[in-house]
Amino acid sequence: MLNKRIVICLGFLVFLGTFPLFSQNRYALVIGNSSYQNGEISQLSNPANDAADIAEVLKDLGFKVVLRTNVGLRQLINAVADFTKELKNNDQSEGFFWYAGHGLSVKNVHYLLPVDVDPTDDFSITRSAFSVDDLMTEIESAGNLTNLVVIDACRNNVIPGSRSVNSRGLAILSHSDMRIRGNKIVYSTQAGMTASDGTSGAKNSPFAQAFIANIGNPETFDDVFLDIADGTLKLTNGQQEPYSMGTFAVKSYSLNPDGVKVSLFPGAGGGSAGEVQKHPEDFSKDGTKFWDYSTEPKVFQHIRPWMIILAVVIVVVILGNILKFIFRRNYLNKLRQNNVEENENNITVCVNFGFSSRHISCPSLETAWINCKFGALEVFFDQTALSPNGAEIFLNCSLGAAELCIPKHWKVIDKTNCTLSGILNKNRNASLEENAPLLILSGSITLSVVEIKYI
């Protein structure tokens, strides 16, 4: 049967293992719209893939991720409402919003197009799409710590043919807009421009490729964005340059402050867009290369110091109980070998990971075994008499403290082996009778303190 202490520690381990679930303060809503219902709207091959890959990476970075693909207007509204509700629950929470899909501007207001959008005219679009203005109003109302909003929309050739849409290019928020304060907004292209969905056969858009390839960078996001922009420019031959605005409410904000290694690194500089590559080696500006975790089991990416400390405690508790069993068995064997029975004249006191105070009442003490590991122990012998031949106390102390309260008229001989430890004598009687009762101390003391107090 498991020792009670092991059960308690295991329960504590389970609690701490689930604690991150309750203390989660990073939330992400990731949306990718590819399959539009109206035949007049061009289909997109990459947004759903982009969203899935981004969601996977964000999970590695500790975000609680909600992934939605090919959503209609009502689903989009509900998803944003649920997202902001999560942010409102913790004023120290961090939010991440990603949208990939069609988007266009009407009267200088940019709209994210759900898959069931009505593209008949400007009025129909504005009534069946979700504006970035409304999105930022919702996010700003959360009152949380800070947010990163990424919009990879405004794809070229949204509605083939002639339409009365005022502007096909991207319309951005004003820099004076109060809603961007404390929040960073990243657009996949510049104002008035369109964004590429990628080359034929590519899994991800150029912007998504560059974003995923750099998201694991532990530097500040402002520095990471420069690499994202550079990667996008290279993949589009200089035709598409991402744009950012706003400021984080956190100084030197990073998506990956702990340097966790992410699972996806689509090639931003060539090769298959969906190919998983090794961790980029050019994160450090001074040329320092980070360790390549591409072959490391994913489970090790989430190990935290408290997990290691708790694991050590559990191991020590288990080993302590095993050693206690061995100690007890060896003690009984020694008694049998010496034809000594365990009775009121032969006692054992053990303390592991705790504190104990014992008063020994023995008419003729012969042997005492005192085992103290990772704990503190007091043993009083004031109601004890030694056998005519004297007695012996075997000490086994490791990383503990023991105090032995011994009558002043006893003669004590110390034969213990001490390693980085010591025995302190307090109130020792300098003058003893020649026939004083004899007590021998033996055993081993390691990284411990034993104090003998004469009473």
Task: Decide the pairing of beta strands 401-406 and 376-386.
Answer: parallel
Note whether residue 313 is domain-resident: no
Stronger pLDDT, 35 or 341, i.e. the higher one: 35
Q: Return the bridge partners of 181, or none.
A: 247
> Per-residue pLDDT averaged across 80-97, rounded?
94
Q: How many CB atoms lie within 10 A of CB 151?
A: 25
Question: For residues 236 and 251, what is the distance between their CA atoms, to the nearest angstrom?
Answer: 32
Q: Are residues 386 and 263 in the same domain?
A: no
How confident is the model over 14-67, as pLDDT tens digits? 545 544 444 468 999 999 999 999 988 888 889 999 999 999 999 999 999 999
Contact status, residue 173 vs residue 230, Cβ threshold 8 Å:
no
Distances (CA, A) of 295 to 56, 272, 291: 17, 19, 11
Least confident range of 86-100, 298-312, 313-327 = 298-312
Indicate the residue among 283, 303, 323 that finishes a domain.
Answer: 303
How confident is the model over 343-399, as pLDDT tens digits? 668 888 888 887 888 888 888 999 999 989 888 889 999 889 999 889 999 999 988
DSSP 363-427: EEE-EEEEEEESSEEEEEEEEEEE-TT-EEEEEEEES-EEEEEE-TTSEEEE--EEES-EEEEES
Q: What is the pLDDT of residue 158?
A: 57
Question: For residues 222 and 380, what is the distance between their CA atoms, to the nearest angstrom?
Answer: 67
Identify the sign of the CA torsion 31, 34, 35, 39: positive
Q: Are residues 189 and 299 in the same domain?
A: yes
> Per-residue pLDDT averaged across 185-191, rounded?
87
Note whether residue 326 is domain-resident: no
Contact status, residue 88 vs residue 145, Cβ threshold 8 Å:
no
* CB burial readout 93-118, b (16+ within 10 A) else e: bbbbbbbbbbbbbbeebbbbbbbbbb
Question: For residues 393 and 206, what is the distance between their CA atoms, to the nearest angstrom?
Answer: 77
Question: For residues 257 and 395, what is the distance between their CA atoms, to the nearest angstrom?
Answer: 49
Q: Residue 403's pLDDT band (boundaries 50, 70, 90)? A: very high
Note whether residue 378 is domain-resident: yes
Residue 446 belongs to what domain range?
Answer: 341-454
Q: Residue 231's pLDDT band (boundaries 50, 70, 90)? A: very high
Note whether residue 189 is domain-resident: yes
DSSP 195-231: B---STT-SS-HHHHHHHHHTT--S-HHHHHHHHHHH
> Which residues, at least 6 apart from 269, have a Cβ–Cβ distance to it below 8 Å?
231, 234
Q: Are residues 244 and 380 in the same domain?
A: no
Q: Return the bridge partners of 380, or none.
A: 359, 405
Q: How many CB atoms lie within 10 A of CB 57?
A: 24
**Residue whose entry in the numeric block shows the structure tokens 């719209």:** 33
Whether 334 has a pLDDT exceeding 70, the answer reads no
How confident is the model over 416-455, as pLDDT tens digits? 999 888 888 888 777 788 888 999 999 999 888 899 999 8
* Percentage with pLDDT > 70 across the chain: 73
CA geometry: angle 368, 371, 372, nearest 5 deg: 140
Q: Are residues 387 and 449 in the same domain?
A: yes
Q: What is the pLDDT of residue 336?
A: 46
> Per-residue pLDDT averaged across 150-158, rounded?
71
Q: Are residues 220 and 129 in the same domain?
A: yes
Q: Are residues 348 and 296 in the same domain?
A: no
Least confident range of 205-219, 221-235, 413-427 = 413-427
Indicate the residue among 303, 330, 361 that finishes a domain.
Answer: 303
Q: Residue 329's pLDDT band (boundaries 50, 70, 90)? A: low
Question: Which one, of 215, 208, 184, lies nearest residue 279 by Cα?
Answer: 215
CA atoms within 13 A on the CB side of 250: 18
Phi, psi of 389 (to 5 degrees): -90, 10
How confident is the model over 407-422, as pLDDT tens digits? 999 999 999 999 888 8
Helix ranges (H only) for 272-365 are 305-337
CATH number, domain at 72?
Answer: 3.40.50.1460
Question: For residues 290 and 284, what is the distance between their CA atoms, to the nearest angstrom?
Answer: 8
Q: Are residues 264 and 345 in the same domain?
A: no
Distances (CA, A) of 442 to 378, 412, 417, 433, 445: 18, 11, 7, 23, 9
Note whether residue 181 is domain-resident: yes
Q: What is the pLDDT of residue 351?
A: 85
Q: What is the pLDDT of residue 323?
A: 67
Q: Are residues 413 and 281 in the same domain?
A: no
Indicate the residue among 282, 303, 324 that finishes a domain.
Answer: 303
Which amino acid is residue 359, in one-letter code? H
Least confident range of 61-65, 126-130, 330-334 = 330-334
Contact status, residue 226 vs residue 163, Cβ threshold 8 Å:
no
Note whether residue 373 is domain-resident: yes
Q: What is the pLDDT of residue 424?
A: 86
Q: Are residues 274 and 138 in the same domain?
A: yes
Whether 157 has a pLDDT exceeding 50, the answer reads no
> Per-residue pLDDT averaged across 192-220, rounded?
84
Q: Return the bridge partners of 406, or none.
A: 454
Q: What is the pLDDT of residue 208?
A: 94
The length of the chain, given as a count of residues: 455
Task: Indicate the number of domains in the chain.
Answer: 2
CA geometry: angle 165, 209, 247, nearest 5 deg: 70
Q: What is the pLDDT of residue 249?
A: 84
Question: For residues 167 and 104, what is the distance between their CA atoms, to the nearest angstrom?
Answer: 7
Q: Are residues 114 and 260 in the same domain?
A: yes
Note whether residue 224 is domain-resident: yes
Distances (CA, A) of 291 to 227, 254, 280, 284, 317: 19, 19, 10, 12, 34
Q: Are residues 279 and 369 in the same domain?
A: no
Note whether residue 168 is domain-resident: yes
Question: For residues 321 and 158, what is the distance between their CA atoms, to the nearest angstrom?
Answer: 70
Q: Are residues 293 and 393 in the same domain?
A: no
> Per-residue pLDDT averaged across 327-354, rounded?
64
Across the chain, mean pLDDT equals: 79
